[in-house]
């Protein structure tokens, strides 16, 4: 039996909740801390789940605005109307349903840091309002004629290219230059494999504290899989995978069969294409014809046991 692994004796650097042991990430955080101390607008570039919101909070904590308000808003998650009213606020009666005055985040965050996630999704008219905030430090709430002054530091994030948005006419070029004074590129989880084991154990410790199951060991093949998987969803996906393994298995060792299907190279059951079943039936029928009904030959051709072949034939009504 292969030896199982226990949590490595590593002390992670903790940047206000963002944990890392990877040199690539430590270099990134050092650069980030330097820029954070200035007042420059920062654009975080990085795939989904790489920790952009945690970095934005860290920037706030390292800046002179620390102790003031930090606000975050995801531009991809809100309708145009909601985003406008969330940012600029509105006067009672400004639109149907505006039953009372509302103070916008731009005003509530005065003196602090505003994090705009998925900024490429911001509609053009709201981009115009944001540009005014960055140029003239003022804005007008919806349905109001009053000009409100505000002093915010903007940190934005995107996983797509703003240049492409500009080329397609959906993002203002002048705003792009204003918000990407300093662009910072967050490494993907694959580019900092040193963090995978540490973060996996961090998530396990949290899950142990919240659940009955106490995981103390990880099978070597689980560890190997975690290291070689591509992690398209980055740290968020790693966190979800550990929650899945912890919930699905038993005992104090994380076993290979506890891993979700996609990490074991299988399509998840709910994502198998509809016509896969039909394809399989057609393949079986063709092979049966080719081998003139000889089941062993068909099983050999498919690389499966006779018992599995019988089951499949029955399932497809071919037995
Ligand atoms: N280095 C890290 N240490 C601890 N937790 C992390 C780390 N990186 C990310 N996380 C966690 O992973 C999740 C995703 O992080 P976050 O929301 O900051 O990513 P994001 O890049 O903003 O994602 P999206 O672009 O999809 O909004 C969060 O629960 C966050 O706490």
Q: What percent of the chain has pLDDT above 90?
A: 73
- Report d(CA 106, CA 234) in Å as an integer: 31
Segment 241-262, tens digit of pLDDT: 999 999 999 999 999 999 999 9
Residue from 17, 32, 236 to probe ligand 1 pocket by mutation (most atoms less than 8 Å from CB): 236
Nearest CA to ligand 1 atom 30: 51
The residue with tokens 């792009």 is 176
pLDDT given at position 277: 67
Can you list the alpha helix ranges (DSSP code H) found in 140-183? 162-167, 173-179
Cα of 308 to ligand 1 centre, how many Å?
42
- Report d(CA 245, CA 226) in Å as an integer: 12
- Given the candidates 3.40.640.10, 3.10.129.10, 3.30.450.20, 1.10.8.60, the CATH classification of the domain at 190-270 is 1.10.8.60
- Given the candidates 3.40.190.290, 3.30.1300.10, 3.40.50.300, 3.40.50.720, the CATH classification of the domain at 23-185 is 3.40.50.300
Which residues are CB-neighbours of 132 under 8 A, at least 6 positions away? 138, 139
Decide whether any atom of ligand 1 lies within 6 Å of the 46 Cβ. yes
pLDDT given at position 274: 60
Residue from 10, 15, 49 to probe ligand 1 pocket by mutation (most atoms less than 8 Å from CB): 49
Nearest CA to ligand 1 atom 8: 51
pLDDT given at position 271: 58
Question: The domain 273-315: what is its CATH number?
Answer: 1.10.10
Predicted confidence band at 2 (pLDDT cuts at 50, 70, 90)?
low
Decide whether any atom of ligand 1 lies within 6 Å of the 54 Cβ. yes
Decide whether any atom of ligand 1 lies within 6 Å of the 19 Cβ. yes
Decide whether any atom of ligand 1 lies within 6 Å of the 187 Cβ. no
- The structural domains of the chain, with segments of one domain joined by +, span 23-185, 190-270, 273-315
Which residues are CB-neighbours of 148 under 8 A, at least 6 positions away? 106, 107, 138, 139, 140, 141
pLDDT given at position 286: 82
Decide whether any atom of ligand 1 lies within 6 Å of the 20 Cβ. yes
Predicted confidence band at 119 (pLDDT cuts at 50, 70, 90)?
very high
Decide whether any atom of ligand 1 lies within 6 Å of the 117 Cβ. yes
The answer to whether residues 162 and 176 touch, using CB atoms and an 8 Å cutoff, is yes
Q: Look at 289 and 255; give whichever has higher pLDDT.
A: 255
Decide whether any atom of ligand 1 lies within 6 Å of the 73 Cβ. no
Residue from 195, 235, 238, 239 to probe ligand 1 pocket by mutation (most atoms less than 8 Å from CB): 235
| 179 class by beta-carbon count within 10 Å (0-12 exposed, 13-18 middle, 19+ buried) | buried
What does the mean pLDDT of the chain come to? 91
Predicted confidence band at 272 (pLDDT cuts at 50, 70, 90)?
low
Please give the average per-residue pLDDT across 275-301, as a whole number: 78
DSSP letter (8 states) at residue 32: H
The complex scores an ipTM of 0.96
Please give the average per-residue pLDDT across 286-298, as a whole number: 80
- Residue 232 in tokens: 């398209």
Cα of 238 to ligand 1 centre, how many Å?
10
pLDDT given at position 242: 97
Please give the average per-residue pLDDT across 86-91, as a whole number: 94
pLDDT given at position 273: 59
Can you list the alpha helix ranges (DSSP code H) found in 63-112? 80-88, 105-108
Nearest CA to ligand 1 atom 13: 236
The answer to whether residues 155 and 115 touch, using CB atoms and an 8 Å cutoff, is yes
- Report d(CA 169, CA 192) in Å as an integer: 35
* Best CA proximity match to 40, nearest among 152, 132, 129, 117: 152
pLDDT given at position 291: 77
Cα of 49 to ligand 1 centre, how many Å?
5
Q: What Cα–Cα distance (Å) separates residue 1 from each residue in 4, 219, 223? A: 9, 10, 15
121: alpha, beta or left? (left if phi > 0; alpha if psi -120 to 50): alpha
Cα of 53 to ligand 1 centre, how many Å?
6
Please give the average per-residue pLDDT across 64-90, as a whole number: 94
Predicted confidence band at 219 (pLDDT cuts at 50, 70, 90)?
very high
Decide whether any atom of ligand 1 lies within 6 Å of the 121 Cβ. no
- Specify the ligand 1 atom closest to the Cα of 118: 25
Please give the average per-residue pLDDT across 309-315, as a whole number: 80
Q: What is the β-pairing status of strands 13-15 and 18-20?
A: antiparallel
The residue with tokens 């989904």 is 48
pLDDT given at position 60: 98
Decide whether any atom of ligand 1 lies within 6 Å of the 53 Cβ. yes
| 279 class by beta-carbon count within 10 Å (0-12 exposed, 13-18 middle, 19+ buried) | exposed
- Specify the ligand 1 atom closest to the Cα of 202: 4
Decide whether any atom of ligand 1 lies within 6 Å of the 85 Cβ. no
- Report d(CA 56, CA 42) in Å as an integer: 9
Decide whether any atom of ligand 1 lies within 6 Å of the 24 Cβ. no
Does the pLDDT at position 193 exceed 80? Answer: yes
* Best CA proximity match to 192, nearest among 54, 20, 33, 59: 20
């Amino acid at each position: 039996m292969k030896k199982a692994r226990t949590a490595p004796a590593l002390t992670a650097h903790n940047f206000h909740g963002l944990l890392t042991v990877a040199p690539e990430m430590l270099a990134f955080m050092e650069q980030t801390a330097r820029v954070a101390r200035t007042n420059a607008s920062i654009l975080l570039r990085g795939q989904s789940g790489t920790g952009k919101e945690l970095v934005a909070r860290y920037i706030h904590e390292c800046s002179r605005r620390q102790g003031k308000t930090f606000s975050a808003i995801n531009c991809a998650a809100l309708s145009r109307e909601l985003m406008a009213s969330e940012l600029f606020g509105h006067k009672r009666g400004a639109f149907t349903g505006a039953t009372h005055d509302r103070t916008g985040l731009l005003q509530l965050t005065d003196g602090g840091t505003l994090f705009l996630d998925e900024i490429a999704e911001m509609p053009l008219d709201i981009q115009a309002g944001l540009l005014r905030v960055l140029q003239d430090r003022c804005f007008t709430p919806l349905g109001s004629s009053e000009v409100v002054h505000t002093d915010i530091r903007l940190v934005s994030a995107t996983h797509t290219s703003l240049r492409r948005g500009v080329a397609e006419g959906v993002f203002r070029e002048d705003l792009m230059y204003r918000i990407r004074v300093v662009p910072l590129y967050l490494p993907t989880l694959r580019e900092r494999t040193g963090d995978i084991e540490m973060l996996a154990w961090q998530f396990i410790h949290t899950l142990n504290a919240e659940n009955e199951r106490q995981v103390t060991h990880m099978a070597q093949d689980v560890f190997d899989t975690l290291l070689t998987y591509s992690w398209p969803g980055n740290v968020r996906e790693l966190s979800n995978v550990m929650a899945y393994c912890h919930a699905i298995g038993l005992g104090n060792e994380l076993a290979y069969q506890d891993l979700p299907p996609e990490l074991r190279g299988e399509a998840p059951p709910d994502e198998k294409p509809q016509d896969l079943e039909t394809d399989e039936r057609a393949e079986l029928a063709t092979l049966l014809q080719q081998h003139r009904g000889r089941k062993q030959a068909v099983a050999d051709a498919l690389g499966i046991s006779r018992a599995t072949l019988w089951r499949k034939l029955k399932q497809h009504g071919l037995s």
